[in-house]
Amino acid sequence: MAKEHALLSTEIVNRGVESSGPDAGSPTFSVRVRRRLPDFLQSVNLKYVKLGYHYMISHGIYLMTLPVLIVIFGAEIGSLTKEELWQKVWDEASYDLATVLAFFAVLVFTISLYITSRPRPVYLIDFACYLPPEENKVSKEEFITLARKSGKFDEASLAFQSRILQSSGLGDETYMPRSVFAPGVNCATMKEGRAETSAAMFAALDELFEKCRVRPKDVSVLVVNCSLFNPTPSLSAMIVNHYKMRGNILSYNLGGMGCSAGIIAVDLARDMLQANPGGYAVVVSTEAVSFTWYGGKRRSMLIPNCFFRSGCSAVLLSNRRRDFRRAKYRLEHIVRTHKGADERSFRSVYQEEDEERIKGLSISRDLLEVGGHALKANITTLGPLVLPFSEQLLFFAALLYRHFFPSKQSAASPPASTSAPYIPDYKRAFEHFCMHAASREVLDHLQRNLDLTDGNLEASRAVLHRFGNTSSSSIWYELAYLESKGKVRAGDRVWQLAFGSGFKCNSAVWRAVRRVRKPTRSPWLGSIDRYPIGH
């Protein structure tokens, strides 16, 4: 029971003055009880730490043998004087042409085998983010006004959405298709979905091809992800048709995978490039707001209305070695975590119909808790791959101590500070953080549990305020923010972290191969100087 209470937070909400009933004219208050992210300081699963070290060892075993060989060879050489070494090399050894040629043949073969068998690095050439037209810009006040005029909501639903918007972290310049506010019209039609997604995807791709000076026919791999709108023919087929791409293109369309699908799409594109080296891969991440829109009364399904906004990103990847000179980033790691085996995690974000058979996306009260568990598993696995050795040593030693010498406490007593394992400082592993801009509350919990600074989450909060939750493309708007601020320098490491339905939490780590100059085309042009807010 005490463990369950630790996951709850309370908040007293002023509901205003009662307008009717026996308490008319009196102020009313309510107590709101919510689940929060689990405290990472109190719970770290050892199996995810072992998984992270397994990843690290399986990729680094060959390099680990090299220092051992050097030490052995050095010890042998060090025991000889200069004269003895010269005598062993020239006086005691006899060489012939066949021996020398055989030695060099084996050496060349070994080096060639190593070079050809190791995976090619995957480079990010450039990316583009969609800036919707000005007529789609909607403030929080206008949102409520248009929603009331649409006639789809009663006053209680409008008041609930208004309260959510005020604490959401969204600003007054986010974008939405106006079709969702049309009175008495179902906006989730195939026509509206195709119009919305094609406008976003084609605008982002046009900018990407122009910036990278790449023809659409040069693309060999295409991966598109959109969670809720999945027409036939697919969105990837729409792109192939629009740009008249080549007939042997490897195209994939990912649906229903939530806000973390952007990293999943990058992972798939990387695998396709490794299997088919020497080409370009394009990853398109978007969402159809008209299909996330809900016009009913169930409060758990009204929440997405307040957060999801229009957005799209297009990314160009390559594993051609000659593209290193013009690339911006090199992909270092991708770590994916899926908690779908747990029933609460699986149903935490769930598309369904309400009592009136109105379709929508239901957000569970358990979302923060299950998201926290997925996040904890993901970052614990990621840690051994990215953290400095000193941080890993402290963390692993503290974890083993707590595992073999657990503290004995009563269930009612709070956990002692000495029993908590050492939580690594991820600020030493990354220079930049692109955390999925889901909501202000989620970002607050992330900052507190990972001990991040306001500067670390500056890009995430700026994207949430300026563009809202753009689903899987939000991490690319955050990277665009960092570039527009001129913060990315050669060697900097960027951590992109996103989570979505299923429940999934995914991380991608990039390293800047050069200093990234401020872009001349960006969704932040004209507004970048207003951020961070209050500065």
Catalytic (active-site) positions: 259, 338, 432, 436, 465, 469
- The pair of structure tokens assigned to 444 is 């607050």
Longest dimension (CA), the chain: 111
Neighbour count for residue 245 (Cβ, 10 Å): 20
Residue type present at position 347 = R
For β-strands 8-17 and 123-129, DSSP reports them as unpaired
- The partner residues of 4 in beta bridges, in order of sequence, read none
Round to whole Å and give the CA distance between 95 and 93. 7
**Dihedral of the CA atoms 57, 61, 66, 69 (nearest 10)?**
110
Contact 143, 309 (CB under 8 A): no
Burial 12-44 (b: 16+ CB within 10 A, else e): eeeeeeeeeeeeeeeeeeeeeeebbbbbbeeeb
User: Taking Cα atoms as reference points, which of 208, 171, 238 lies closest to residue 461?
Assistant: 171
CB contact set of 40 (below 8 Å; sequence gap of 6+): 372, 376, 379, 423, 449, 450
DSSP string, 151-195: T---HHHHHHHHHHHHTS---S-EE--GGGG-TT-----HHHHHH
**Radius of gyration in angstroms for the set of CA atoms belonging to the chain, rounded to a whole number:** 27
Structure tokens at 290: 């008209």
- Measured in whole angstroms, the distance separating CA 447 from the mean position of its chain's CA atoms is 16
How far is it, in rounded angstroms, from Cα 451 to Cα 435?
14
**What does each C-alpha distance from 277 to 116, 252, 512 come to in angstroms?**
11, 17, 22
Q: What single DSSP character describes residue 380? A: H
Cα 136 from Cα 459, distance rounded (Å) = 23
Rounded CA-CA distance 338/378 in Å is: 9
- What tokens does 96 get? 């012939």
Q: Give the CA angle between residues 230, 233, 235 to the nearest 5°.
A: 55
Cα 243 from Cα 182, distance rounded (Å): 32
For 522, phi then psi, to 5°, come to -160, 150
For 27, 28, 165, 283, 367, the CA distances from 13, given in Å and listed in that order, are 11, 9, 15, 43, 21
DSSP E strands, 18-166: 27-35, 123-129, 137-138
Under 8 Å CB-to-CB from 532, ≥6 apart: which residues? Answer: 454, 458, 461, 462
